[in-house]
Amino acid sequence: MKNYSIMQQPDYQFELELSVRDYELDLQGVVNNAVYQNYLEHTRHEFLHHIGLDFGELHDQGTDAVVHKIEMEFKRPLLANNRFVVRLRAEQQGHVRYIFHQDIYRLPDNELVLKGKVTAVFMNNGRPIRPPDDVVEAIKKNTIAR
């Protein structure tokens, strides 16, 4: 089941509900650590799509958002058949970077599973650039004032 929405909570802008799939488990019966990056990436893509941005169109225009750095702090594992939600908050840092704070919570008990921080840099032909105005405006319009 996939469910997403723009959040009305003070710390997050967006959330995406997902379920663990059997093939994501390792020998210990927990979600393999590498799979969590896929969860975070999928949530970022869904967030951008939800606010009207399309990676394919941006690429065709010569702009790519490239992951520069990922930090993940594992709190507890996800297991077979667990449902969970990935919550996201984006903030601009400087002129070319966005920080995506992404946390994963197990459902239905809302136990924190992972705290993540992903830094993305906008690039054109391998060089950092300012993101296009429509990108800045779409994210800003959906950013919660702090």
Q: Three-state DSSP class for 37?
A: helix
Structure tokens at 11: 């710390």
- To the query of whether residue 11 is one of the catalytic residues in this protein, the response is no
Structure tokens at 54: 């399309």
Q: Three-state DSSP class for 52?
A: coil
Structure tokens at 130: 């300012």
Distance CA 143, CA 33 (A): 29
* Side chain identity at residue 72, one-letter code: M
Q: Three-state DSSP class for 65?
A: strand
| Marked catalytic residue, from 11, 26, 54, 134 | 26
Q: Three-state DSSP class for 16?
A: strand
* Catalytic residue IDs: 26
